[in-house]
Amino acid sequence: MWVLFLGDVVGKPGRKAVAEFLSRLRNVRDVDLVIANGENLASGMGMTEASVREMFDAGVDVLTGGNHVWDKKEGAPLVRSDERILRPANYPPGVEGRGWGLFRGRSGTPYAVVSLIGRVFMGGYDCPFRWADAVLPEIRKSAACVVVDFHAEATSEKRALGLYLDGRVSAVAGTHTHVQTSDAERLPKGTGYITDAGMCGPRGSIIGMDPQGVLRRFLLQVPTRFEVASGEPEASGVFFDLDPGDGGCRAVQPFRVSETTMRGKEPWKTFSSP
């Protein structure tokens, strides 16, 4: 069964990319479940009811989170009320919302989706490694296929968690940096892995933001308001082919697509990862 994981969806261009490309991406691999990181949905920071609705209307099944989930006032109520929206599971006890859930794919196959957040250069969250040790045995009783979104800054921490969970989950997809890495693989014990799935957002930007504001920050070292760039919508992510029997990953295929990159190809029939 193919699971489609979309990198961080950044602002209006990211939402437009999902709306434009998701149906075609679904057909490319007969996708059973779609997961997207939604912490940057609204103006690049946080989420609103309208931006969340756009994602579900476009065909996203589950939205995972990160440190920006709370940036808009609507974030907490959304996390609290909609079971399809996950915040990182290793926030301290008492934080509203939930960090993992069970979802049915189009085929009826059950999937467990887990949202975790890293600690290196990030914050004082509970240990994602020990959280997994404590909770994964219970999760595996309900679903053979377990997909983890690890929202973290450091490549080393993401790689470490991937290897730590190898053979215990179906796939680990890193998010947060908005830059797709070229290390997609099946780990030795059968877990699909990529350090960062990339982003759905504007081409020609600096991780989704308008270059002028970001450059001003680097050059002048003064507080600068960042605005989502207005470039051509682009979608990045990864396909995982999961075995519904034992939960192992049979194949991993990253992608990065826009109208420019797909121009001249028959309606996605010749699709291949870059």
Q: What is the pLDDT of residue 123?
A: 85
Place of tokens 């309208």: 50
pLDDT of residue 2: 97
> Whole-angstrom Cα distance, residue 86 to residue 96?
10
pLDDT given at position 270: 41
pTM of the model: 0.93
Contacts of 257 (CB under 8 A, 6+ apart): 21, 25, 234, 235, 236, 271
Query: Is 178 among the catalytic positions?
Result: no
What is residue 264's predicted lDDT score, i.e. its pLDDT?
A: 56
- In whole angstroms, how far apart are CA 200 and each of 8, 92, 104, 112, 243? 6, 29, 24, 23, 27
In which region does residue 11 sit, left (phi positive, over 0), alpha (psi from -120 to 50) or beta (all else)?
Answer: left
Helix (H) or strand (E) holding 236: strand 233-242
The CATH superfamily of 2-201+230-262 is: Metallo-dependent phosphatases (3.60.21.10)
Residue recorded with tokens 């929202």? 151
Tell me the domain boundaries of the chain: 2-201+230-262
Say how many Å lie between the first and final Cα of the chain, rounded: 22
Q: Are 68 and 39 in contact (CB under 8 A)?
A: yes
Check residue 263 and give its pLDDT.
Answer: 72
pLDDT score at 271: 46
Q: Which residue from 182, 193, 148 is spatially nearest to 37, judged by alpha carbons? A: 148
Question: How high is the pLDDT of residue 254?
Answer: 96
pLDDT tens track, the chain, 274 positions: 999 999 999 999 999 999 999 999 998 889 999 999 999 999 889 999 999 999 999 999 999 999 998 888 888 999 899 999 999 999 999 999 999 999 999 999 999 999 999 999 998 899 999 999 999 999 999 999 999 999 999 999 999 999 999 999 999 999 999 999 999 999 999 999 999 999 999 999 999 889 999 999 999 999 888 999 998 999 999 999 999 999 999 999 999 999 887 775 644 444 444 3
Active-site residue, selected from the candidate residues 68, 151, 176, 178:
68
Output the pLDDT for position 142. Answer: 95
Amino acid at 204: G
The pLDDT score that the predictor gives to residue 32 is 98
